[in-house]
Amino acid sequence: MLRSLLLAASAALLVNAVNDFSSLSCLVESKGVHVPGTVPCNPHEPLQHRLAYGGPDGMMVSWSTHARLDVPTVWYGESPLSLSNEATGYSVTYPTSRVHDNHVKLTGLKPHTKYWYRTSFQNCAGCAYRSTGTFTTARLAGDHNSFSFAFVADLGLMGADGLSTDVGPLGGASAAANPLGPHDKNTMQSLLESKDTFEFVAHGGDELYADYFIKESWQGYFGNNSLIPNMTSVVEGYNSLSEQFYDQMTPLTSTKPYMVAPGNHEANCDNGGTTDVVHNITYTTSICTPGQTNFTGYINHYRMPSDISGGKGNFWYSFDYGLAHFIILDTETDFPEGLQAPDEFGGFDAGANSGPFGYPNEQIKWFEKDLANVNRDITPWILVMQHRPWYIGTPENSSSNVCLTCQLAFEPTMVKYGVDAYFAGHTHLYERNKPTANYVVDPAGLHNPKYPWNIVNGCGGHYDGLDPMNKTLPYYADAGFNAVYGWSRVTVHNYTHLTHDFIASRNGTTLDSATLYKEHKNDGRKGKGGKRGP
């Protein structure tokens, strides 16, 4: 049974037996306050709001409902008193999903302008308590003002059924590690409390970690008598944990655009396999239904701006923001021909068996073309975000930690087009590397290097904790630690300076800060930027 339901039971009546995942229980006495991860009694209740930029004049508003909406609608305007504009979209779902994902794109908006919005709330008596949401549209490409964004990766479920002050008591040698300290804030709380210090959030893959359902279950995290999972209970458990994560993120993602990259935990439902050492049962992907594999949830849940950037779904795409051009890459599937992508058939993440999503070489051809089209006078900074790193010092120098095929796939193109910096996660530690290419450190360091700067921050946190780090930092690293959950704040100051800060979630302290100087040709004195070329 799920702990959130148990906790909720003290304040609310449970309609059905809490451990019966196959029936859709709902909380009748929730008094209009949705309990994360539960099925609302009113299936039309709008939940899990998330925003994504759709160009400087567009915003994708997505949310989920347990019932299908015929015409998902968003009302919006520049004042909460007149939500006089209306936009409609569509609703998608897939077998074994409990929800319908609604996507409505607002267009014709003013750049960098605050809007108020509400989503469809028909038949939802309990929805009156919801406040009207707000968001701010993207800065125009070439906007010279300084801005910050948050980068987080490997951020999973927090609280009752995810990372908390406890771990499952039955895990033995494979027990989860690094529970929160009693007074620690988790990464979601830290991001939320700091939300006025950044303009959007980029999540570099590995969200939810709902695929830890089986592991959490056999390790006794839901109670010592949890039943042995079967395909039905795994589907319900996975859905409940996923929805709980999206619910937890809503206070952030309903007001800050949330730009995502695919990670391996979006590919399947059991983290590629786990062995219940208590009952001596090994689970493989055979316990996953199609709706929980091949990035199905990820594909349905989000709408990233690949339509306007020529990318592919939520897998690879780009967008401009002020003085930066952002590119999101897929380190999981769709590598150049001749290279094995980690999550595809035969890849090193056993059992993921996902993709491809494009035609052969589509991602790399797009990457080249996208880079070639950047006007560096307007967006001097090119910043890439992705899931897997290749420069990372871990005691296990395994291909699943150090993605050398990723390096072969993408690094030469990054170097050729002068990518300034790239941010990755996947390994659950923090390492701020020196500008490096092909394992050669740039002698210029952070003072106008030729090679891209790269930072690995997979410290968002989830049930299973952090990864071990090598005692000695690799020669290509400037700083690193693995004992703390955290996120990155990246500030693009102007044409020449960019600062990366590592923020410890537990107390909001900046534990590491470094500034990159790049002599981008146009130093900002040459007039105002306009739109990027085609």
Ligand X SMILES: *[C@@H]1O[C@H](CO)[C@@H](O)[C@H](O)[C@H]1NC(C)=O
Binding site for ligand X (CB under 6 A): 20-22, 169-170, 220, 224, 227, 230, 232-233, 280, 294, 353-355, 357, 393-394, 397, 399, 402, 404, 470-472, 474, 484, 493-494, 496-497, 504, 506-507, 509, 523
Measured from the CB of residue 373, what is the shortest distance to ligand X in angstroms?
Answer: 26
263 binds, among Fe ion, ligand X, none (CB under 5 to 8 A by kind): Fe ion
474 binds, among Fe ion, ligand X, none (CB under 5 to 8 A by kind): ligand X
Nearer to ligand X, 325 or 518 (CB): 518
Nearer to ligand X, 122 or 395 (CB): 395
Does 311 help bind Fe ion (rule: CB under 5 A)?
no
Nearer to ligand X, 119 or 314 (CB): 314
224 binds, among Fe ion, ligand X, none (CB under 5 to 8 A by kind): ligand X
Distance of CA 190 to the CA centre of its chain: 16
Q: Which of 156, 257, 263, 389 binds Fe ion (CB under 5 A)?
A: 263
Measured from the CB of residue 486, what is the shortest distance to Fe ion in angstroms?
Answer: 17
33 binds, among ligand X, Fe ion, none (CB under 5 to 8 A by kind): none
496 binds, among ligand X, Fe ion, none (CB under 5 to 8 A by kind): ligand X
Q: Which residues contact 19 (CB under 8 A, 6 or more apart)?
A: 1, 226, 227
227 binds, among ligand X, Fe ion, none (CB under 5 to 8 A by kind): ligand X
**Whole-number Å distance between alpha carbons of 161 and 2:** 7
Does 426 help bind Fe ion (rule: CB under 5 A)?
yes
The SS3 of residue 530 is coil
Nearer to Fe ion, 388 or 518 (CB): 388
Nearer to ligand X, 148 or 413 (CB): 148
HSE-up (13 A, CA, CB side) for residue 438:
5
Does 389 help bind Fe ion (rule: CB under 5 A)?
no
Using Cβ positions, the residue closest to Fe ion within the complex turns out to be 426
**Whole-number Å distance between alpha carbons of 195 and 219:** 35
The SS3 of residue 239 is helix
21 binds, among ligand X, Fe ion, none (CB under 5 to 8 A by kind): ligand X
> By C-alpha distance, which of 480, 354, 463, 469 is closest to 401?
469
Nearer to ligand X, 321 or 357 (CB): 357
Identity at 179, one-letter amino acid code: P
The SS3 of residue 480 is strand
Strand 510-517 to 497-504 pairing: antiparallel
Nearer to Fe ion, 428 or 518 (CB): 428
Only segment of 122-130, 176-184, 256-264, 329-337 that touches Fe ion (CB under 5 A): 256-264
CA–CA distances in Å: residue 177 to residues 147, 427, 466? 35, 15, 7
Site string for Fe ion, 108-147 (x = CB under 5 A): ----------------------------------------
Nearer to ligand X, 205 or 347 (CB): 347
> By C-alpha distance, which of 524, 371, 515, 519 is closest to 455?
515
**Whole-number Å distance between alpha carbons of 110 and 58:** 8
**Whole-number Å distance between alpha carbons of 176 and 179:** 8
CB atoms near residue 86 (< 10 Å): 12
233 binds, among Fe ion, ligand X, none (CB under 5 to 8 A by kind): ligand X
206 binds, among Fe ion, ligand X, none (CB under 5 to 8 A by kind): Fe ion
Does 349 help bind Fe ion (rule: CB under 5 A)?
no
132 binds, among ligand X, Fe ion, none (CB under 5 to 8 A by kind): none
CB atoms near residue 490 (< 10 Å): 23
426 binds, among Fe ion, ligand X, none (CB under 5 to 8 A by kind): Fe ion
258 binds, among Fe ion, ligand X, none (CB under 5 to 8 A by kind): none
Nearer to Fe ion, 203 or 303 (CB): 203
**Whole-number Å distance between alpha carbons of 257 and 262:** 16
**Whole-number Å distance between alpha carbons of 176 and 466:** 9
Measured from the CB of residue 331, what is the shortest distance to Fe ion in angstroms?
Answer: 9
Q: How many helices (DSSP H) and strands (DSSP E) are in the chain?
A: 8, 27
**Whole-number Å distance between alpha carbons of 177 and 166:** 9
Measured from the CB of residue 216, what is the shortest distance to ligand X in angstroms?
Answer: 14
Nearer to ligand X, 105 or 518 (CB): 518
Measured from the CB of residue 162, what is the shortest distance to Fe ion in angstroms?
Answer: 16
Nearer to ligand X, 38 or 233 (CB): 233
Strand 133-136 to 114-119 pairing: antiparallel
Look-up: residue for tokens 């998330």?
A: 50
Q: Encoding tokens for residue 21?
A: 């995942």
> By C-alpha distance, which of 401, 456, 410, 411 is closest to 433?
456
Does 405 help bind Fe ion (rule: CB under 5 A)?
no
Strands, E assignment, 381-509: 381-385, 421-424, 430-433, 436-437, 440-441, 453-457, 477-481, 486-492, 497-504
**Whole-number Å distance between alpha carbons of 98 and 26:** 13
Does 206 help bind Fe ion (rule: CB under 5 A)?
yes
Strands, E assignment, 222-331: 258-260, 274-276, 281-283, 317-321, 324-328
Nearer to ligand X, 120 or 353 (CB): 353
Positions that interact with Fe ion (CB under 5 A): 206, 263-264, 426
